[in-house]
Amino acid sequence: MDLENLIQHARGEAPADLLIENARVVNVLSGEILETSVALARSRIVGLGDYPAQDRLDLAGAYLAPGFIDAHVHIESSLVPPSEFARAVVPRGTTTVITDPHEIANVLGTEGIRFMFESAKDGPLSMFVMAPSCVPATHMETAGAILHSYDLAPFKSDPWVIGLAEMMNFPGVLEAEPEVLAKIQAFEGLPVDGHCPGLSGRDLAGYIAAGIGSDHESTTAEEAREKLRMGLTIFIREASNAHNLEALLPLVNADNQHRFCFCTDDRQPRDLLDQGHIDYMIRTAIAHGLEPIRAIRLATWNAARYFGLSDRGAITPGRRADLAAFHDLEAPSPHLVFRGGRPVARDGRMLMPRLAHDSYPLRSTMNIDWDQVDFSIDAQGRQARVIGVIPDQLVTEHLTATIESGENEALADPGRDLLKIAVIERHRASGAMGKGFVKGMGLKRGALSSSIAHDHHKRVVVGADDASMWTAARRAATLGGGLVVAEGDQVLAELPLPIGGLMNDSPVEEVRDGLDKAIAAARGLGSSLHDPFMAMSFLALEVIPSLKVTDQGLIDVDAFERVSLWVD
C-alpha cells in the first residue's frame, strides 16, 4: 500500500479491510491493556478504535498482542527447513525470526544460505538473516566451507539480511585478527551479535569495544549483569539443551527491561510441538513472576527495536499486522495468528496448506575415507582428559580420569560412564579424526552417531564399544546424514537428515516421530539425558567452555588451544 492510501485508511476516509472488534490490546509501548478494536488494511494496522470496515471479526474479549519475535535461532537445529519450521512455530504466535544459518553455511557455504532463503520464500513466517560470521568457527576445526569478509559483504545489500551473526571467535576479536575485524567492519552500522560465554573484565570490554551489541550465552545472573552493565543487550535463551531462562529472569526489572529479548537458539521438534516456542518462554517467565506485559514486550518490541525492525513489534498505526490472539494473559497460548493482515493459524493449526517443496538440489555432504577411520585409542598413559557433560547446558567440565586399557589400547568403561567419543571429518574425505572420552552421556552399551556436530558438522560418534560405533557411523553416512542408534551390528533407530546432514523436509510431525524413536532407543541403551543427540552435537563446539573435541583433536576452550588426551 502506498503512503497516501495508508493515511486515508488511518483517517477513516477509506474503509479498512478488517476490523478486529472487542479485543483487549496488549500495548507494549504504554504498558496498558486497551479494550478497543483494531483496523487492518492489507498488511498494515491503520488504527485503533471504531473504523468503517468491509469485514469484522469479534474477538469476544480475547487479548491481542504483536506477533512474537525470536531474537536468535538456528532453524537447522529444528531438523527441518524454514518452510516446515514455520508450521511448528507460527501457530504458537511467532511471526518473525532472526536466524543465523551458520549451521548449513559451515557445510555448504553460500549455497546453503541461499537454500534457506529459497525454503522460506512465500511462507507464513518472516525470516530475517544475520550473516554468519564464523564459518568456520575457529582454526581448530575443518568446516565444509570458508566464508571470508568479502564473501559476506554482498549479503549486506539483501533486504532480508540485517546484520552480522554471533561472533563466536571472541579470541580472534581480542587478538585483533585482521579477517575477524574485517567482517565486523563490513557490517558497520548494522547489529552485530555476540557470543562470549564466561568472558569478563577487560577482555569483555575489548570484545564489546569492537562493536558487538548482544550476547545469548549467559548462564548466571552475575554473568549477564556484568554484560548488561558493559552495554550488551541480553538475549535470554531457552533452548532444548540450554535452559537459561529461570536463572536470568531475576535480573529483569523496570529500569533495565528494555535491554532484554527472548531467543531459542537451538530447539528441536519435540520441544517446539509439545512445549512451544517464544510463547513457551512468555508463559514460563510469567509463571516465575515476570509481569505479563513486560514478558510480552521482551518477546516483541524489544527485539524489533534492537534489530531496527521499525515496522513491527507493537500494535500501532502503520506497523505490520502481525498479531497473536489468546484468552489468558497469565498464560498466553495463541488461538488465532495473523501475519501481514491475514489469518495464518487457528487453534494450533496452519490455515494455509503445506507448501510444495520445489527442487533445490544440493551437493553431497557425506565424504568420508572409511579406510582411515579407526576408533581405537592408543594407551599412552593412565590418566586422560575427559569431557564432562552437564545436563541442560552447553558448557562442559574439563575432567581427568583413570582409563583402563588392554593390549596397549585405551578402553571405554560404561560401568563408570566413561565412553569413547570420535569426530570424523566428512566434508573433504581427509581422514582427519579426533578421539577422546566423555562422561555424562550415560550409555551402558551401544553407540550413537550424528552428522550434526556444531558448528563444523562432522560425524560425531559416542559409544561403549568400537563395533557399535562402526555400525552407527556407517549407517548414518549411508543415509546421506542423520541420527543413528546402534548396538553391535544392529541399527536400533535412525532419522535420515539428507539436507546437508542437518535437515529432513518431511512434515515436522514425522521428523519429530523419528527423533522420538531415536531418543527412546538411546534411553534403552542407558542415556537419561533430555536429548542425548543435541547434547552430543555440542561436545564438538570449541567455542563454549571447557573441554571439547573436533576432527583436529581435544580442545581446551579456556586456554583456546589443542591439548593432549593424556595428562601423564
- pLDDT tens digits, one per residue of 444-481: 999 999 999 998 999 999 999 999 999 999 999 999 99
Mean pLDDT of 486-494: 98
**pLDDT value at 355 more than 80:** no
pLDDT of residue 356: 61
pLDDT of residue 25: 98
Q: Which residue has the higher pLDDT, 359 or 169?
A: 169
**pLDDT value at 358 more than 80:** no
Mean pLDDT of 495-509: 95
Q: Is the peptide bond before 240 cis (omega within 30 degrees of 0)?
A: no
Q: Mean pLDDT for the chain?
A: 95
Tens of pLDDT, residues 321-344: 999 999 999 999 999 999 999 999
Tens of pLDDT, residues 533-543: 999 999 999 98
pLDDT of residue 362: 85
Mean pLDDT of 30-43: 98
* pLDDT band of 241, cuts 50, 70, 90: confident
pLDDT of residue 26: 98
DSSP annotation string for 99-149: E--HHHHHHHTHHHHHHHHHHHTTSSSEEEEEEPS-SSSSSSS--S----H
Tens of pLDDT, residues 387-404: 999 998 889 999 999 999
- Report which DSSP code applies to 552: T
CA–CA separation, 161 and 163 (whole Å): 6
**pLDDT value at 226 more than 60:** yes
Smallest Cα–Cα separation from 486: which of 477, 478, 476, 496? 476
Smallest Cα–Cα separation from 261: which of 283, 280, 247, 278? 278
pLDDT of residue 364: 84
Q: What is the pTM of this model?
A: 0.94
pLDDT of residue 360: 63
CA–CA separation, 137 and 241 (whole Å): 20
HSE, CB side, 13 Å, CA atoms: give it for residue 192.
25
**pLDDT value at 420 more than 80:** yes
User: Quick one: how far is CA 443 from the chain centroid?
Assistant: 26
pLDDT of residue 498: 94
Task: Give CA angle at 486 (469, 269), nearest 5°.
Answer: 110
pLDDT of residue 359: 54
Tens of pLDDT, residues 374-387: 999 999 999 999 99
Helix (H) or strand (E) holding 278: helix 278-287
Domains of the chain: 71-287 (3.20.20.140), 370-563 (no CATH)
User: Quick one: how far is CA 149 from the chain centroid?
Assistant: 23
* pLDDT band of 277, cuts 50, 70, 90: very high
* pLDDT band of 179, cuts 50, 70, 90: very high
pLDDT of residue 272: 97
115: cell is 537454500
* pLDDT band of 137, cuts 50, 70, 90: confident
Mean pLDDT of 348-355: 88
User: In sequence order, which residues have a C-beta less than 8 Å from that of residue 202 and are 6 or more positions away?
Assistant: none
**pLDDT value at 60 more than 60:** yes
* pLDDT band of 357, cuts 50, 70, 90: low
pLDDT of residue 433: 96
Contact status, residue 160 vs residue 187, Cβ threshold 8 Å: no
* pLDDT band of 509, cuts 50, 70, 90: very high
274, with CB counted inside 10 A (0-12, 13-18, 19+), is: exposed
* pLDDT band of 354, cuts 50, 70, 90: confident
Helix (H) or strand (E) holding 115: helix 110-120
Provide the 3-class DSSP secondary structure of residue 281.
helix
